[in-house]
Structure 1
Amino acid sequence: MATHPTVFPCIKYADARAAIDWLEKAFGFAPKLVVPGDTGTIMHAELRSGAGIVMCGSAADPEPGNPWAGAPFGIYVRVDDVDAHHARAKAAGAEIVSPPTDKPYGARDYSVRDLEGRLWSFGDYDPFAEA
């Protein structure tokens, strides 16, 4: 049983740096992790509020193999067994956007679209884990 949240909203912004600053000023979010991208963009950020985390980053043009590049919003859910979870989703008819893949930062995840086309990713990345 999880002792902390396992579901994380993910938001893409045209100006993620400005959004992070504004979310901190307006709502009290505290940046936990900010990974800069190219040309002043934000590849990935995690902002804490109490016991929760919101993930965000810079919006990007759609690109093959990266379902998050063109998605303005999605949900990331931490699961213990990525491959078993993928098999269950596939058996239920979920539209697999990206199959289970090992990521360079050590996580394994996959992405799907729900019955109305919204992006979901399921993986073993845990933003609460100590580095």
Structure 2
Amino acid sequence: METVRPVFAPQLYIPNGVRDVDFYINGLGAVELRRFSNDDGTIHVSELSINGAIFHLHEETRNPASFSPLRHQGSTVTIGLFVDDVDAYMARAVAAGAKVTSPVQDYDYGYRQGDVMDPFGHVWMFESRI
């Protein structure tokens, strides 16, 4: 029997009716691996990867515990992404439509970090060790 190692692959909820998720490609450098569309052409699921780390965008479901952050004007999670150049990732994300929620700075615990909110309300923290 093959041993399967746990791999973290978050599923981020987006509002129903979304057709364009180019922010993740242009703003984060993600590659779309697959897409499952609804009959009307809207996105049901988009599977993306950033440097081999997979995550999914999924339209909201009927599960009341799983929803797009836009529905409640906030997110319950921050997605940390370790990168080589925090400032470059922040600038790229902002140019693609993200809003800065915490500017880039160095912290005394040894990280350089900055946060943005993407167009669907998800909070991303770009970080690197200093």
- The TM-score bracket by the shorter chain reads 0.3 to 0.5
TM-score normalized by structure 1?
A: 0.41
TM-score normalized by structure 2?
A: 0.41
